[in-house]
Amino acid sequence: MTLTSRQRAYLMSLASTLDPVIQIGKDGVTPEAVISASDVFHTHELVKGTVLKTVSDDPAHAAQMLAERTRSTLVKVIGRKFILYKPFRDNPRIELPE
């Protein structure tokens, strides 16, 4: 899914109040991290995560890899925090601006 700059800004404003619920640890994007993130997307369309300082990989690369493996969209990476978006299939709660 490709987001416009307006849609990205809207999602970032929604995510500003969220606490990180996904953590990528020292082992990077492991199958367990992917499963954990996929489980979060059963109840949330928009999630915030962090890449711990012990990760040797670039935070943007790790976040992009997690987005690809969970079939979500990487909204933004700021420092070691990232925002992922994956709309619900049947009834999306977040309506993106055109």
For residues 61 and 75, the answer to whether their CB atoms sit within 8 Å is no
Q: Give kind and range of the element (H or E) at residue 51.
A: strand 46-51
Rg, C-alpha atoms of the chain: 13
Amino acid 21: pLDDT? 94
Amino acid 1: pLDDT? 79
Amino acid 88: pLDDT? 92
Block residue for tokens 């049947």: 90
Amino acid 68: pLDDT? 96
Could you state, in chain order, the average pLDDT of each consecutive group of 10 residues for the chain (98 residues)?
92 95 92 93 94 91 95 95 93 87
| Boundaries of every domain in the chain | 5-85
Q: Place domain 5-85 in its CATH homologous superfamily.
A: YhbY-like (3.30.110.60)
